[in-house]
């Protein structure tokens, strides 16, 4: 592919993703209305392996008792319910258990741009979720870590996530979701940062909707 064609393709994809992000503003604004705090920026402290990695997080409170969340989280289909529309959960394996963890493996398809006429940038991810059993049993807290499955080939060079939830002991729960991502999408850094922040806001909306459905 010559340079002019490559530049044109990058410009087209950037424009399409930018349009998609604008179209998701209403959902993201709902997160702000619930006083969710979101953040995203490039990793500037790592080495060469961390170049272009986007670090993002969102923190929010829900008026749902922690024990109700804990009693529903292991039900079949939960991962699909807490995932935003641009993520398709293709398969979930598990759980398997150790003394300290409950472990799930998942196959997901992420499509950052989905319209009625096109889907652009689809990537396949193979993930492993580790749920800390001690936090659930003894701490009144949820701690889940998510990483790429080292046994399978994902289309992200780096992907890691964390989910935290803490019992506020007043009928409410404080939650936080973090993500550390690096993909091969040919987008400017500012667009990738904006996309990461918007996608976490959409994830927060899906999680809140799931929790309010108990």
CA distance 155 to 126: 9
Query: Quick one: which H or E segment has residue 126?
Result: strand 123-132
* Statement: residue 9 has pLDDT above 80: no
What's the mean pLDDT in 102-110? 97
Q: Are 72 and 165 in contact (CB under 8 A)?
A: no
How high is the pLDDT of residue 35?
77
* Statement: residue 1 has pLDDT above 80: no
Residue 22 tokens read as 């604008």
Domain coverage including residue 198: 3-211
How high is the pLDDT of residue 139?
93
What's the mean pLDDT in 80-86? 93
The number of folded domains in the chain is: 1
* Statement: residue 6 has pLDDT above 50: no
* Statement: residue 130 has pLDDT above 90: yes
How high is the pLDDT of residue 163?
98
**CATH (domain of 108):** 3.30.530.20
Q: Quick one: what percent of the chain has pLDDT higher than 90?
A: 65
Query: β-pairing, 173-183 with 156-167?
Result: antiparallel
Q: Write down the pTM of the prediction.
A: 0.81
Reported confidence tier of residue 22, pLDDT bands at 50, 70, 90? very low
How high is the pLDDT of residue 69?
96
How high is the pLDDT of residue 185?
72
CA distance 34 to 97: 35
Tokens 């799930």, residue located: 104
Residue 180 tokens read as 């550390």
């Amino acid at each position: 592919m010559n340079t002019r064609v490559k530049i044109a393709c990058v410009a087209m994809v950037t424009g399409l993703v930018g349009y998609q992000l604008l179209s998701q503003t209403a959902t993201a604004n709902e997160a702000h209305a619930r006083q969710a705090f979101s953040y995203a920026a490039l990793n500037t402290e790592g080495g060469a392996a961390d170049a272009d990695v986007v670090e993002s997080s969102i923190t929010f409170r829900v008026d749902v008792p922690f024990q109700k969340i804990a009693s529903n989280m292991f039900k079949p289909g939960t991962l699909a319910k807490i995932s935003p529309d641009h993520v398709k959960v293709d398969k979930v394996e598990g759980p398997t258990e150790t003394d300290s963890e409950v472990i799930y493996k998942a196959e997901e398809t992420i499509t950052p741009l989905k319209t009625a006429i096109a889907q652009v940038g689809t990537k396949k991810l193979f993930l492993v979720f580790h749920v800390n059993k001690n936090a659930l049993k003894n701490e009144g807290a949820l701690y889940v870590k998510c990483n790429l499955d080292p046994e399978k080939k994902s289309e992200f060079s780096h992907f890691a996530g964390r989910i935290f939830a803490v019992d506020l002991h007043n009928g409410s729960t404080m939650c936080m979701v973090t993500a550390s991502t690096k993909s091969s999408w040919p987008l400017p850094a500012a667009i990738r940062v904006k996309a990461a922040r918007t996608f976490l806001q959409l994830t927060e909306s899906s999680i809140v909707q799931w929790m309010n459905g108990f």
